[in-house]
Amino acid sequence: MHSDELRALQAPLKERYLEDPESAIVTLKAEGRLGENLACSIDTGRALVEAGLHPATGGSGTQACSGDMLLQALAACAGVTLQAVATAFGVTLRSGRVLAEGDLDFRGTLGLAKDAPVGFREIRMRFELDADADEETLDKVIAVTERYCVVLQTLRSAPPVVVSRGAMDR
């Protein structure tokens, strides 16, 4: 896709959202179904993924780990955003990788140490790019990608998360 094609694709959306800001609010949804042996299945719309305990907490390693899935969502979002930004800048990406990794102290998750966080201590993301642009332009592309990557910005400025319990729909 070329930058003019991307602009043409997004122009009517941007116009509508400026005229009617409420139309820009979209609720995304995910549902997990509890399964056997401490598993939870997620329908991604493309495949059914069964998540389970990480081996560091007693899992077998045969199921997806939700921590890995979080990092995968970050890498996917950053990769899509990077490609859109590069297109807008007129930068051709011949190839590239987005690597996301994070450090967990499983003592927190297992309730063994109150000073150990439950969750990632640090998440790192790295872009490896083969592109037709100089370093300064690539740095700008990555900076704009950081600014507009939904998953990255959500992790950096965590929104309130409301937890509730309700009756099951039958």
The answer as to whether 112 is a domain residue is: yes
Strand partners, 54: none
Question: What is the pTM (predicted TM-score) of this model?
Answer: 0.89
The answer as to whether 7 is a domain residue is: yes
Q: What beta strand segments (E) does 24-111 contain?
A: 32-34, 40-43, 48-51, 93-104
Q: How far is it, in rounded angstroms, from Cα 59 to Cα 109?
A: 13
- Tally of structural domains, the chain: 1
Q: How far is it, in rounded angstroms, from Cα 73 to Cα 86?
A: 20
**Per-residue pLDDT at 157 exceeds 70:** yes
Q: What phi, psi does 147 have (nearest 5°)?
A: -65, -35
CATH number, domain of 115, equals 3.30.300.20
Residue 137, Cβ density class (10 Å: 0-12 exposed, 13-18 middle, ≥19 buried): middle
pLDDT band at 150 (very low <50, low <70, confident <90, very high): very high
pLDDT band at 170 (very low <50, low <70, confident <90, very high): low
Write the pLDDT tens digit of every residue in 43-88.
888 889 999 999 999 999 999 999 999 999 999 999 999 999 999 9
Residues with Cβ within 8 Å of 144's Cβ and at least 6 positions away in sequence, in order, are 85, 89
The answer as to whether 50 is a domain residue is: no
The answer as to whether 114 is a domain residue is: yes
The answer as to whether 54 is a domain residue is: no
The answer as to whether 126 is a domain residue is: yes
The answer as to whether 140 is a domain residue is: yes
Q: What is the pLDDT of residue 169?
A: 74
The answer as to whether 111 is a domain residue is: yes
- Residue 82 belongs to domain spanning: 3-15+65-156
